[in-house]
Amino acid sequence: MADDKGISRRSFAVGAAGLAALPAAATAKPPKPAPIPIGKPFILTTWNFGPSANAVGWPMLAGGASSIDTVEAAINHVEEFGDYWVGADGVPNEVGETTLDAMILWGPTHDIGAVGCLKRVRRAISVARKVMEETQHTLIVGDDATRFAARMGFTETSLTGPKSQAAFAKWAATHSKSDAFGPEPRGQSDTLRAHDTVGCIALDAAGNLCVGCSTNGREFKIPGRVGDSPIPGAGAYGDQAVGGAVATGNGDVMMRFLPTYHAVELMRGGMHPQAAAEAALRRIADAGYSIGGGIAVIRRDGVHGAAKTGWDEVPFDYSVQTASGNVTVPVA
C-alpha cells in the first residue's frame, strides 16, 4: 500500500535493506577534529590603529579583565580616535549625516548585541553591548537605536565634524548620487575606497572569547543603509570552542556570504586560520564578485591568519598582542 507521496512500504523496506548492505566505511560518520586547546590571553585588532587599540586593551587583559571589557575599551579608543571611517566626524551618507554600525559577541553564552544606522550617539560598540546585556534583542536600528541609547543613559550629540563636513561638501559639489545606485560589482571591480572597519577579538585569562566591530560604513551611502558590521557572521563572528573572525571592506557584498561565520566553521573543521580566511574570501570571488575586502582570523589557541581581495595597493594589516609583545602583520 502506497502513501499519498507514492512511496510503498515495500520500496521503503528495500531501500532500508540497501543502506544496511553498504560497507561500514560508506555509512560511518567522519571523525570529529580534535578539540582546539585554549591559549593564553591575546587581543587582535585590525588596520593601522591596531597597535594603539591593543595598547589600551592588553594591560586590561594582563590585569585580569574580561575579554568583553577589553574589546569594548579597545574599540572605544578607535571610535574616539578621530579616524574618518570609524566613530564621530566620519563618513557622511548621501545627505551629509554620519551614522554608526557596531556589534559585540560574548563567547561563553554566544549572546550578541548590535546597532545599525545609529544616529547622534558616540561609542556605538557600548550601545551594542547594552543591547546584548539589557535586552533579549540582538539588533536595534536607526532613530530607535538612538532612543534606546538615550534610555540607557547615553548622551545625544552631533556626529558631524570638520572632516565629515568637508568630505560631504566636496562630494555634493559634484552633484553626484550615491554610487550604491550603480551596477553590482560582477564582471567589473567596485569603485569603493578601502575603509577601516575596526574589528577586535580577545581571549581573557579565564578562556572567555569576545569579538566586536564598529564602523561608519560606506561613504555617501543611501540614508538608512546598514552594512555588514552589525550582522552576525558577516562583519564579525566567534565561537567559544573555536575562535573568531572579523571582516572589513565592501560590506554590501560581503554580508551576502557571511564570511566570518564561514571562516570560523572552517576552523572548526580543522582548517588553519590562514587557509580559512583565504577560503572565505575565495567563495565571494568564485561567485563572480570583484570587490575590495579583508578578513582576519584567530583560533582560541592564538594561531592567526588573514587574507584580502581586490586591494592590491591597499596596505591592510592587523595587530596581535600577547604577553610576548605586539606584532603587526601585513596581509599580502
Give the residue numbers marked as catalytic: 197
CB 144 within 8 A of CB 82: no
User: How does strand 42-46 pair with strand 317-322?
Assistant: antiparallel
Distance CA 298, CA 252 (A): 24
Count CA atoms within 13 Å of residue 292 on its CB side.
Answer: 16
**Identity of the residue numbered 90:** G
Which residue, chain included where needed, has cell 587599540? Answer: 53
SS3 label, residue 258? coil
Distance CA 211, CA 295 (A): 13
CB 73 within 8 A of CB 57: yes
User: How does strand 209-215 pair with strand 139-141?
Assistant: unpaired
- Stated as kind and residue range, the H or E segment containing 277 is helix 273-286
In terms of Cα–Cα distance, which of 227, 196, 232, 168 is closest to 78?
A: 196
Compute the chain's Rg from CA coordinates: 22
Q: Residue 111 contacts by C-beta under 8 Å, 6 or more apart in sequence? A: 105, 132, 133
Count CA atoms within 13 Å of residue 114 on its CB side.
Answer: 27
Which residue, chain included where needed, has cell 573543521? Answer: 269
**Identity of the residue numbered 163:** K
